[in-house]
Structure 1
Amino acid sequence: MSMEEEEENAHTLPPAPATVSPSISRKISIHQLVEADRAQNIPAVLQRTPALINSHNKEGYTPLHTACLKGLEECVQVLLQVGMNQSPKIEINAKDSTGWSPLHCASLNGHLACVELLIQNNADVNAVTNNGSTALHYAASWGRLDCMKILVDAGCKVDQRSTYSGQTPLHVATSKGYTHCVNYLLQKGANVIEVDTRGRSSLDLAKIEAHEDIADMLIEYKRMVPWYRRWKAFLCCQGSGELYSALPASPVKPDRLRRDSAPVHRDISLLST
């Protein structure tokens, strides 16, 4: 098991929820309140001790980490509302010992509402862990397409390479066999020839893992790239602004897309002729 996989497993196994009495006690920590999903009691605790908003528990998580890890939307909302209007303010990009931010935790576990709340409050979508991975890497690793779309739309880099393995989100989605995620990343212009630290491209990984559908898709994509670039250059030189702007971000043919993928302009089929 690689270091990256060990980190993923650690962040998909949150601590067991604590049992908290309905009455608030000064002995009950804010972390226990979050773990027990008692969002209504959080403001009172922070009013007494505002600094607890950024405190770390023994796992290295802030209250926001824990809420995002478990997908506790109401707790995330309360923490952000209170934390943005107090001193000290909430550290929305706080990191645990492995460099994971709350956005990494929410994206890995597919908690879409939490991802949206974090991004709405200006979370850094390109924050990286200690191994250089973004939230998009982990969303791709578990096939969280909805989270991937939100991250990319918010400006997350599609071709960010992990400093540990050198893999991009496309490598990760390919090796796990998530065809719908690979499809989406190709639509967004992912670099199909990028290699990891072991010199393997996404196509190499597709062949190694025997993901034939993905291998076929990547081969077709690579074949179409030169034609696509020439076509864009031609339209640009001809001043055909309307046609140029109608082209998709990458040369993915419509008949290769799955139902959950965004539509692609059909003029791109000209590139394969």
Structure 2
Amino acid sequence: MAVCEENLSDYSAYSELCDDELLQIAIQRSLTDTNQSSSASSARPAGPNQTNTNSIQRCVDPPRHRPYSPPPQPPPAQPAGVPNSANPPTGLSWFLYKGFARVLSPLQSLIMNGDSEALMDLVGRGSSSLTDQNDEGWIALHEAAYYGQLQCVQILIRAHPDSVNVCSSWSQTALLLAAWGGNTSCVEFLLKHGADVNIANKERETPLFTACERQSESVVELLLKFGAQVNRCTLQGETPLHIASIQGHVQICRMLLAAGARLQTRNIYGIQPLFRASQSGQADVIKFLAKKGADVNGQAGDGASPLFEACKNGHVSAVEMLLSLKADANRPKRSGLLPLHVAVLNHHTQIVTMLIPVTSRASIRHSGISPLHIAAEKDRDNIVKLLIEAGFDVNAKLSDERSLMYEDRRSTPLYFSVYNRNLEATQMLLEAGADPNRDVFNPLLIAVRLGWMEMAALLLRHGANVNAQISIHPSSFPSAILINMESLSMLKLLLDHGCDARSCFVCPHGLKPHPAFSMARHPTEELQVSGDEPPQNPIQFCEAVSRPSLFCVSGPIISLLLDYVDHVRLCSQLLEVLQSRSDWTSIVLKAATTRPLMQLCRLKIRRLLGVQRLQLLHKLPLPVPLIRFLLYDIHCSSELT
């Protein structure tokens, strides 16, 4: 039943008890879940959004300043093991429950459980605990509003009417807390008893803002009826319409607009309400706001458009709605990125499919980066395939500005896929016509440096320059040999595909003594471009092969190279290397001996054919042994005689 004024003086049942004893009784009631409190609770009229919390406990009483967001529903039902009428306390459960319940103050327990009778006795005693503020500045009225206990709110307001607008330390009023909980009956009572509808918390969030955030239609309607300022902004510049758009509540948006909400209001980031709806994928709100005149292309401070945000967050329905409303798919952010770029970046394949037909290739070129670059960098193989099939340029290069963001100055999608060891994407790009020789550092050098035989072979089959050089680490012989000559299998692969072995034996010092050189000189671990590095003299092969790290394989390296050259003369440094071990004497003899005629013929034929034609030998009507011989599958033998 409703609480009458006369009821406030009727507390004779507790007249002999002190305040502490009275509060202890309230706690005991909440623990034992007595029939008396249950029947009183069931007889109390509940507001449309109010829930009976009489038998509810909580583990920890949370902080209620703004950084903490109160739960959207009343506190969770008490956990198993908490003593009540269906679960009588045992020694163990009582011990566990003490740890569970001791965080509640007696007054909080009383109010949370809606014990209006005990509360009236406290009022009748003139207890100061009802108006004393806790550490967060809350008084009893705040607690009652927060838990939606209408009878407690009524008792406290009638006893202390001047407390209706008391603020907590975070400037929260009872009205704001009731609005947060969607407690319509409490909100209405507070408004009718002097609550200021526009008092905001320290974040400048008003009760109306809070009600919109909680999607409480009835509370919003009440607040607007009592004069809530519909365009009041928070510290972040957000209005109630912003937050209602995020939540996707069309009816609340309609109510706010009817009350004078402005569609074009921007928050501190330049974001309008329709932009907010796009961020959270609220297609219905987007449609509604656009119909009311909102700008579907209204950009934020960083240049992002509503479509860009919807694509970034993967909201398919919102993207469909924006495109149907003629949102511009070619409006870039200040960074130059388009909606298609960010859809690829975040792997939203369905949205990529929707954007491809409406995205201008000229806009992509102007951005300085192709979606293929992003797809290759992020290993989006399905999107790489999709973009290739849509006709995107597989040889598109990053703009100079974007290329400078990478230490290796990469520029093509192919480089990204090779760098990521993505064989499938690399093959798709190469088969679609990607040129493996367009980057500052040839992608082949990455595969060689890290010993990726399959990747290196794939690149070589598609025309990668096997004799490419690293300009910042010049050498007198191919850089591919320089960076991984210790791998004999990789070295042979390079030589089979036309790597210039003869340059390894060209030494300016010949048989003369070599000047001292730093044994620390070796190819860089990472391919990087640095303007701070001074020009270097080219590294000679004899210098590179003499490194201590190659001591065990220097002989076999030289021996393998000799198979791919005609008559050469070893320099004094190479002779010194080979003479350091007795088992390498045969390699010295191999270099000094006249080369076999068949070897010279093979070299001549290979030189005349060139690297690309050598790969087509198997298509010619030639004897298989001859093809194998020319491709170094077999050495000189009687099989060809």
TM-based fold match above 0.5: yes
Aligned partners of 2:312 and 2:293: how far apart in 1? 24
1:92 shift after superposition: 0.3
**SS of residue in 2 equivalent to 1:150:** helix
Q: Kindly provide the amino acid, as one letter, of the partner of residue 337 in structure 2.
A: R
Q: Structure 2 vs 1, CA of residues 173 and 70 (structure 1 numbering), >3 Å: closer, same or farther?
A: same
Aligned partners of 2:203 and 2:147: how far apart in 1? 18
1:32 shift after superposition: 2.3
Which of 43, 54, 67 is residue 198 of structure 2 equivalent to? 54
Aligned partners of 2:70 and 2:249: how far apart in 1? 17
Q: Deviations over 1:27-79 (max 9, x none)?
A: 352112212323234355345546x2211023421010000000011000111
Matched residue, 2:278:
140
Is 1:206 aligned with 2:343? yes
Which of 239, 244, 250 is residue 101 of structure 1 equivalent to? 239
Which of 211, 220, 233 is residue 67 of structure 1 equivalent to? 211
C-alpha contact 1:43 1:82 (8 A) present in aligned 2: no
1:173 shift after superposition: 0.5
Aligned partners of 2:250 and 2:240: how far apart in 1? 13
What percent identity do the matched residue pairs reach?
A: 27
Matched residue, 2:300:
162
Aligned partners of 1:124 and 1:92: how far apart in 2? 9
Q: Kindly provide the amino acid, as one letter, of the partner of residue 216 in structure 2.
A: L
| TM-score normalised by structure 1 residue count | 0.69
Aligned partners of 2:285 and 2:150: how far apart in 1? 34
Aligned partners of 1:183 and 1:43: how far apart in 2? 41
Which of 165, 187, 200 is residue 42 of structure 1 equivalent to? 187
Matched residue, 1:15:
70
Q: Deviations over 1:180-202 (max 9, x none)?
A: 21111111111111111211011
Q: Deviations over 1:96-138 (max 9, x none)?
A: 1101100111111222321221122221122111101111122
What are the within-5 Å matches in structure 2 for residues 1-273 of structure 1? 14-16=69-71, 18-23=146-151, 24=154, 25=157, 26=161, 27-28=163-164, 29-49=174-194, 52-83=196-227, 90-163=228-301, 165-222=302-359
Q: Kindly provide the amino acid, as one letter, of the partner of residue 221 in structure 1.
A: V
**SS of residue in 1 equivalent to 2:226:** helix
- The structure with higher relative contact order (CA 8 Å, sep 6+) is 1
Aligned partners of 2:286 and 2:69: how far apart in 1? 22
C-alpha contact 1:14 1:69 (8 A) present in aligned 2: no
C-alpha contact 2:148 2:178 (8 A) present in aligned 1: yes
C-alpha contact 2:182 2:214 (8 A) present in aligned 1: no
C-alpha contact 1:195 1:201 (8 A) present in aligned 2: yes
C-alpha contact 1:112 1:147 (8 A) present in aligned 2: yes
Matched residue, 1:267:
none
C-alpha contact 1:68 1:76 (8 A) present in aligned 2: yes
Q: Kindly provide the amino acid, as one letter, of the partner of residue 70 in structure 2.
A: P
Q: Deviations over 1:225-256 (max 9, x none)?
A: xxxxxxxxxxxxxxxxxxxxxxxxxxxxxxxx
| TM-score normalised by structure 2 residue count | 0.30
> Gapped runs of 5+ residues in structure 2?
1-65, 73-145, 165-173, 361-641
1:214 shift after superposition: 1.7
1:213 shift after superposition: 2.3
C-alpha contact 1:103 1:115 (8 A) present in aligned 2: yes
1:218 shift after superposition: 1.6
Aligned partners of 1:196 and 1:14: how far apart in 2? 32
Higher alpha-carbon Rg: 2
Q: Kindly provide the amino acid, as one letter, of the partner of residue 39 in structure 1.
A: T
**SS of residue in 1 equivalent to 2:304:** coil
Q: Structure 2 vs 1, CA of residues 57 and 211 (structure 1 numbering), >3 Å: closer, same or farther?
A: same
Q: Structure 2 vs 1, CA of residues 191 and 179 (structure 1 numbering), >3 Å: closer, same or farther?
A: same
Matched residue, 2:22:
none
Q: Kindly provide the amino acid, as one letter, of the partner of residue 226 in structure 2.
A: V
Q: Kindly provide the amino acid, as one letter, of the partner of residue 35 in structure 1.
A: W
> Gapped runs of 5+ residues in structure 1?
1-10, 84-89, 224-273
C-alpha contact 1:127 1:134 (8 A) present in aligned 2: yes
Structure 1 window deviating more from structure 2 (95-104 vs 207-216): it is: 207-216
Aligned partners of 2:358 and 2:182: how far apart in 1? 46
1:205 shift after superposition: 1.2
Q: Kindly provide the amino acid, as one letter, of the partner of residue 139 in structure 1.
A: A
C-alpha contact 1:192 1:218 (8 A) present in aligned 2: yes
